[in-house]
């Protein structure tokens, strides 16, 4: 068997000018890239960018229309040529557990895939036990796949993909729909297994923040590659600075946002913070540019930060004139007749809400309050109980114990009142794709009993709010995902509800569409005083919330603003630092051996929480001093850091109750 250092293995995938069309729809448009042996190569972009088509072409399950593709040096230009390399490839398709069988147990699934690969009994047994141990699935051997959490399904899918030790593994959005703790564990396991076996990986993801976990990446949009290279090198392609600050007077936030959005095309509001991308790397100049737009508005805690990859992605789209007008936030307009709902009182109250299914307690004495006009985030891992709470609050599901009130109505007795006063947007797109935009709006107006005059007025409002006026007669199926979601939001708002429930509202939406969507939510909250309760798997979106309740195992384990949660984690676990070094996986093991517990691998970098920075930084330098040049930089805590810290700590307490070791 050849090793990763053999000349023929230096380039595992060589794609030159690949193109693919589905009728008039262009999926790949002249895609060119090379994947080197031993690296994790990432394809990053929204749904419809062309990632899956490229992965399927490389895996040999989709023929490209034009261009040249070589895998392991073999020209792949026919079905027969594809068959010559398939035994060296492992493919994990998009979707939780899509390559698995729900009624089979964990072990039965692995046995089935091992049988397909015709492995010897001894070879298969050794690999199976090693993979089960690496993924911590040993004690779940007999559990049916359909009863696993999302993260466990993906780990089992990875085991089945790697059981024959392929030299190239292809993973299509393996962490979509998986909570942050499971995401981090998945990437850690993958990096370790690939390094041990010398396997190359080609991975796609819609999460921009996962770029740091890859050796090299390609940013994809509309079938084309916008940029390729190491994540750090891509960041400098659209040079700029982020200016972040909080209005000293919260009542001036809307005015400040309006002024800044008129001057800067990349501006977003994250809870109480306003965040602006400026096209200059001069930090003082960037700060001055923003403050000059707000001569009569004071900003507190004003900082100048390095742009994230998502900021760079959007800036690149602007530079290449690829920003569709309908995704720009300046087309989004709300009514100007002032707040519909008063600022006083509570819009949502949950008091000791509980729900059991047989002997299983899905929700355990959950309590929280949401004031009118607030954006409230309900976060938690898969199976934490978030959806059950929403179903009880909307009257879809009755509670076993406890009380709840929504928009002034009791959830137990006020079913009709609640339905009239709330809007609900489910995770699954709930509109009719074969109806036009206007037909969908009229359908929802009829469901809520609007008069003809009310329907006409609200239809105009929705078309302006969602930037859909040019698309009124277009079939909904033809719209980009971002516009579909804004149409679904408009239909949920057609009867002007007091409270809006959103379940994973931006899943699959590109970064531009996601920002435009959240701009609408911010203005609904601030200008019309609509209360919004949202669940999301994008931890960056949690930053948009005014307040957050974090659920774990059916309970609320944290209830505060994002800023307060970050301060709490800093007090408990320390400040966040990022370590750059030559061999991050080896350095990670050295730090763990030296007693650093809150440490995680991020591609070629390491993130670590330090309770005593001065002492701990000296210790890190001493531990890693012999490994080559290192640099250590402070970083801001993200909501993902907060989520992972809290949930990981609770999981450890569950494994070792009272501090006892198992």
The confidence score (pLDDT) of residue 661 equals: 43
The confidence score (pLDDT) of residue 175 equals: 82
**Chain centroid to CA 514: how far?**
11
E strand residue ranges, 307-461:
346-357, 360-371, 375-380, 401-406, 409-410, 422-425
Domain check: are 436 and 418 in the same one?
Answer: yes
Domain boundary among 198, 232, 266: 232
The residue range of the domain holding 545 is: 346-560
E strand residue ranges, 111-174:
168-172
Domain boundary among 308, 331, 354: 331
Domain check: are 322 and 379 in the same one?
Answer: no
Please, are residues 534 and 362 in contact by the beta-carbon 8 Å criterion? no
Domain check: are 291 and 382 in the same one?
Answer: no
The answer to the question of residue 365 being in a domain is yes
The confidence score (pLDDT) of residue 660 equals: 45
The answer to the question of residue 2 being in a domain is no
The confidence score (pLDDT) of residue 659 equals: 54
Domain check: are 198 and 292 in the same one?
Answer: no
The answer to the question of residue 322 being in a domain is yes
Domain check: are 281 and 197 in the same one?
Answer: no
- Domain total in the chain: 4
Q: Which residues of the chain have pLDDT under 70?
A: 1-9, 96-97, 323-344, 427-429, 481, 507-510, 537, 603-604, 656-662
CA distances from 476 to 262, 264, 429, 436, 490 (A): 30, 31, 11, 5, 13
pTM of the model: 0.79
Domain check: are 460 and 603 in the same one?
Answer: no
Domain check: are 61 and 114 in the same one?
Answer: yes
Domain boundary among 281, 303, 331: 331
The confidence score (pLDDT) of residue 393 equals: 92
List phi, psi (to 5°) of 450.
-75, 145
- What are the helix (H) ranges across 330-436? 386-393, 415-421
Domain check: are 264 and 373 in the same one?
Answer: no
Distance in angstroms between the alpha carbons of the first and the last residue of the chain: 42
Domain check: are 226 and 256 in the same one?
Answer: no
Domain check: are 75 and 130 in the same one?
Answer: yes
pLDDT digits (tens, 9 = 90+) for 166-203: 999 999 888 877 777 777 778 888 888 888 888 999 99
User: What CATH number corresponds to the domain at position 260?
Assistant: 3.30.70
The answer to the question of residue 1 being in a domain is no
The answer to the question of residue 336 being in a domain is no
The answer to the question of residue 382 being in a domain is yes
| Pairwise CA distance, residues 506 & 384, whole Å | 20
């Amino acid at each position: 068997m050849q090793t990763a250092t053999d000349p023929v293995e230096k380039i595992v995938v060589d794609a030159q000018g690949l193109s693919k069309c589905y009728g008039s729809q262009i999926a790949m448009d002249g895609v060119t890239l090379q994947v080197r042996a031993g690296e994790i190569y990432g394809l990053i972009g929204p749904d419809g960018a062309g990632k899956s088509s490229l992965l399927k072409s490389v895996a040999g399950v989709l023929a490209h229309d034009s261009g040249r593709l070589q895998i392991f040096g073999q020209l792949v230009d026919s079905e027969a040529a594809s068959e010559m390399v398939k035994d060296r490839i492992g493919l994990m398709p998009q979707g939780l557990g899509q390559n698995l069988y729900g009624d089979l147990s964990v072990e039965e699934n692995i046995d089935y895939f091992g049988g397909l690969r015709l492995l010897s009994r001894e070879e298969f047994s050794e690999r199976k036990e090693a993979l089960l141990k690496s993924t911590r699935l040993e004690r779940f051997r007999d559990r049916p796949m359909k009863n696993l959490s999302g993260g466990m399904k993906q780990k089992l899918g990875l085991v089945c993909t790697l059981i024959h030790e392929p030299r190239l593994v292809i993973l299509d959005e393996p962490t979509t729909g998986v909570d942050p703790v499971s995401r981090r564990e998945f990437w850690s396991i993958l990096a370790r297994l690939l390094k041990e076996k010398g396997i190359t990986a080609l991975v796609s993801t819609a999460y921009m923040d996962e770029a740091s976990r890859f050796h090299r990446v390609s940013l994809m949009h509309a079938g084309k590659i916008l940029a390729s290279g190491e994540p750090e090198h891509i960041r400098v392609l659209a040079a700029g600075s982020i200016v972040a600050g909080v209005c000293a007077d919260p009542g001036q936030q809307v005015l400040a946002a309006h002024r800044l959005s008129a001057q800067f095309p990349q501006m977003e509001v994250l809870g109480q913070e306003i965040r602006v991308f400026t096209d200059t790397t001069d930090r003082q100049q960037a700060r001055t540019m923003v403050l000059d737009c707000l001569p009569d508005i004071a900003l507190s805690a004003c900082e100048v930060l390095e742009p994230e990859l998502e900021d760079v992605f959007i800036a690149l789209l602007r530079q290449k004139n690829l920003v569709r007008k309908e995704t720009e936030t300046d087309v989004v307009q709300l009514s100007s007749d002032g707040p519909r709902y008063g600022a006083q009182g509570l819009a949502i109250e949950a008091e000791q809400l509980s729900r059991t299914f047989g002997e299983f307690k899905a929700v355990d004495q959950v309590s929280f309050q949401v004031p009118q006009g607030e954006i409230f985030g309900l976060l938690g891992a898969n199976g934490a109980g978030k959806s059950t709470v929403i179903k009880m609050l909307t009257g879809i599901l009755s509670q076993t114990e406890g009380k709840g009130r929504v928009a002034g109505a009791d959830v137990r007795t006020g079913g009709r009142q609640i339905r009239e006063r709330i809007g609900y947007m489910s995770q699954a797109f709930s509109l009719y794709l074969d109806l036009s935009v206007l037909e969908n709006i009229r359908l929802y107006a009829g469901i809520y009993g609007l008069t003809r005059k009310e329907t006409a007025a609200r239809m105009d409002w929705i078309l302006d709010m969602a930037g859909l006026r040019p698309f009124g007669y277009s079939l909904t199926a033809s719209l980009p995902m971002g516009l579909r979601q804004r149409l679904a939001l408009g239909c949920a708002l057609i009867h002007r509800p007091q409270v809006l429930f959103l379940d994973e509202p931006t899943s699959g939406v590109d970064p531009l569409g996601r920002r435009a969507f959240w701009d609408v939510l911010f203005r609904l909250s601030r200008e019309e005083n609509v209360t919004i309760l949202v669940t999301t798997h994008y931890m960056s979106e949690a930053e948009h919330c005014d307040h957050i309740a974090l659920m774990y195992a059916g309970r609320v384990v944290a209830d505060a603003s994002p800023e307060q949660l970050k301060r709490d984690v800093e007090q408990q676990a320390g400040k966040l630092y990022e370590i750059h070094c030559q061999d991050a996986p080896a350095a990670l093991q050295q730090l763990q051996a030296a007693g650093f517990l809150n440490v995680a691998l991020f591609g070629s970098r390491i993130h670590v929480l330090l309770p005593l920075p001065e002492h701990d930084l000296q210790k890190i330098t001493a531990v890693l001093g012999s490994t080559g040049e290192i640099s250590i930089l402070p970083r801001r805590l993200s909501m993902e850091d907060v989520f992972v810290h809290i949930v990981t700590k609770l999981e450890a307490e569950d494994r070792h109750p009272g501090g006892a070791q198992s």
